Amino acid sequence: MAAVVVDGKAAAQRIRAEVRERVRLLREKGLIPCLGVILVGEDPASLSYVTAKAKALEEAGMTSRDLRLPADTGEDALLAHIAGLNRDPAVQGILVQLPLPSHIREDRVISAIDPRKDVDGFHPVSVGNLVLGKPGFVPCTPQGVAALLREMNVPIAGAHVVVVGRSNIVGKPLVNLLSRRDFNATVTLCHTGTRDLAAYTRQADILIAAAGKAGLITADMIREGAAVIDVGVNRVPDPAAKKGYRLKGDVDFEGAVERASVITPVPGGVGPMTIAMLLRNLAQAAEDWGAGGSKALGDKSPGDKSP
């Protein structure tokens, strides 16, 4: 039987409606949430993400302060821009679009962001809080994946989740998030060094593909009835398409849809959820800011009280 194909856009719309309501209350108090967005260079995928984020912010009643910097911007100049946004009381969240040009050290840049404004959840303080099960900003795509699983009524507690891909943005935070007590999954992390990848993926109740490799996960690698979440957004050449390419996930969708019980499409699955979660993190940052700006560092997600 073919899988249920999840409508990530519809799920994201519901979250965006909740955020709009939170923003309405903030605006009544005179606070308009604002995200500082820095884009270095003109990577086409990054440009299209940043444009989509700005549109979503506006629809939610929030604003953004966009800084578009040339690709040859020096690290120190970029750090100075971040320092400016850190100091700016009208800006409650900061997002530096990744990847950065290779001459800039990503870790230095991320570490320069005030953790109270770290709505991406990439700062070492946010990462530490997630690992320790303490309250803090959780990266947007992993939150989006978890919300989609809940939306689809996929049981997570006790399930075996196999994550393919160990990026700092998706794979690693997903492992930490879903193994927390509030989700209670058993999580296996696979990556490019994994021997016999299929032997692991076939054991997954929930298979999450986040390797950035088009079509990596084929039908024979999926257990019958598994939930399949495709985080990959890969551009593959397609002469028939207007732009000359089309988006393809890490999962071979046509084959997988026949084996999975539920599956997310690309595009229209996880992608819209990521943006919705960014809006939610910014609303949270603004609420904390409005509460005096001095709320305990990282006092954002409820965290996980038990070991």
CA 90 to chain centre: 24
Print the binding letters for residues 197-236 with ligand GUN: x by CB under 6 A, - otherwise. ----------------------------------------
Q: What residues form DSSP beta bridges with 93?
A: 35
Please confirm, yes or no, whether 53 is among the known catalytic residues: yes
CB of 140 to ligand GUN, least distance (A): 5
Size of the site for ligand GUN (CB under 6 A): 8
Choose between 57 and 96: whose C-beta lies nearer to ligand GUN: 96
Print the binding letters for residues 128-167 with ligand GUN: x by CB under 6 A, - otherwise. ------------xx--------------------------
CB of 55 to ligand GUN, least distance (A): 16
Choose between 2 and 71: whose C-beta lies nearer to ligand GUN: 71
Q: Which stretch binds ligand GUN (CB under 6 A): 96-104, 150-158, 223-231, 247-255?
A: 96-104
Q: Which stretch binds ligand GUN (CB under 6 A): 90-98, 190-198, 260-268, 298-306?
A: 90-98
CB-CB contact of 232 with 265 (8 Å): no
CB of 98 to ligand GUN, least distance (A): 4
Catalytic residue among 114, 118, 120, 304: 120
The correct pick among 15, 19, 23, 96 for binding ligand GUN (CB under 6 A) is 96
The correct pick among 98, 156, 214, 297 for binding ligand GUN (CB under 6 A) is 98
Catalytic (active-site) positions: 53, 97, 120
> What residues line the site for ligand GUN (CB under 6 A)?
95-98, 120, 140-141, 169
